[in-house]
Amino acid sequence: MSLNPKITDWRGKRVWLVGASTGIGRATAELLHTKGAKVIVSARSQAALTELAQKHAGLEVLALDATDEAAVKVAARQLLAASPLDMVMYCAGMYQPMRAQEMQSAAMVQHMQVNYHGAVFVTQAVLPSMLAAKRGHLSYVSSVAGFRGLPKSLAYGPTKAALINMAEALYIDLHDEGLGVSLINPGFVDTPLTSQNTFHMPALITPAQAAQEIVSGWEKGKFEMHFPKRFTAWLKLMRSAPDALYFKMTRRFTGL
């Protein structure tokens, strides 16, 4: 059963990707551009976005800091004044490994601002216009780290759990309004965000593979895209495991 309106033809679709200067967002921008979408890319780094746009004629650049609500509002107003948006994906994110013994509240709050509040600001900035037009799709890049608590994920995990919950709540309210809402829960993807990991990342995939999974999920009208399944299917199963089993298995697999 398809949970969202399927997007089968990307030609002429206007897509705003926030967090698209590198990694998963950038690869998704490139894939959608090749499929004929009118792609707008945002992130803080103007230089990286401009370099991306130079490779792909027609790609539009709109540099912003997603944690600055006023800047997000101005950007959205500018985009919506031109024409409606068919897809908005929030993939801005940061990750700093943290365990309880080195807890830093300031860094935890910063993760919340980038990974969650930015998504709230972007949603608020585009939702009224999507509701009025009864057209559009909101998509959020969360993580399997949002399913349950994980070691080193003290700052990152809670932000991703919040994003998962928000996407589900939005789906419930917006589906009958004719809007799409989707949730993306990747496993490990080889990007600047994970390059700091010193441990072996199981089932690591490339950003281009992640982009294929995401776009194919939108085309099929899925609500959740989690990938690669050989890794994420286990984590989904562990989501409903009894606490004692979950803690034991997590310890065994991570060695932490």
Ligand X SMILES: NC(=O)c1ccc[n+]([C@@H]2O[C@H](COP(=O)([O-])OP(=O)(O)OC[C@H]3O[C@@H](n4cnc5c(N)ncnc54)[C@H](OP(=O)(O)O)[C@@H]3O)[C@@H](O)[C@H]2O)c1
161 binds ligand X, rule: CB under 6 A = no
Nearer to ligand X, 188 or 218 (CB): 188
67 binds ligand X, rule: CB under 6 A = yes
Nearer to ligand X, 44 or 175 (CB): 44
Per the listing, tokens 């006023």 go with 70
Return the residue of 85, 98, 125, 141 that touches ligand X, per CB under 6 A.
141
Report the side by side order of strands in the sheet with 137-141.
60-61, 38-42, 14-18, 87-90, 137-141, 180-186, 224-227
CB of 140 to ligand X, least distance (A): 9
Judge contact between 22 and 48, C-beta under 8 A: yes
Query: Please, is 12 exposed, middle or buried when counting C-beta atoms within 10 Å of its C-beta (0-12, 13-18, 19+)?
Result: exposed
Q: In terms of Cα–Cα distance, which of 175, 182, 172, 165 is closest to 223?
A: 182
Residue ranges in 79-108 that form contacts with ligand X under rule CB under 6 A: 91-95
Return the residue of 188, 218, 227, 231 that touches ligand X, per CB under 6 A.
188
194 binds ligand X, rule: CB under 6 A = yes
Nearer to ligand X, 85 or 141 (CB): 141
165 binds ligand X, rule: CB under 6 A = no
CB of 145 to ligand X, least distance (A): 7
- Supply the DSSP string of 172-231, one letter for each residue: HHHGGGT-EEEEEEE--B-STTTTT--S--TT-B-HHHHHHHHHHHHHHT-SEEEE-HHH
- Only one of the segments 14-22, 31-39, 216-224, 238-246 lies at the binding site for ligand X (rule: CB under 6 A); that segment is 14-22
3-state secondary structure 7-49: CCCCCCCEEEEECCCCHHHHHHHHHHHHCCCEEEEECCCHHHH
Nearer to ligand X, 131 or 201 (CB): 201
212 binds ligand X, rule: CB under 6 A = no
180 binds ligand X, rule: CB under 6 A = no
**Alpha-carbon distance 29 to 62, whole Å?**
13
CB of 132 to ligand X, least distance (A): 26
154 binds ligand X, rule: CB under 6 A = no
* Residues at the interface with ligand X (CB under 6 A): 19-25, 43-45, 48, 65-67, 91-95, 114-115, 118, 141, 143, 186, 188-189, 191-194
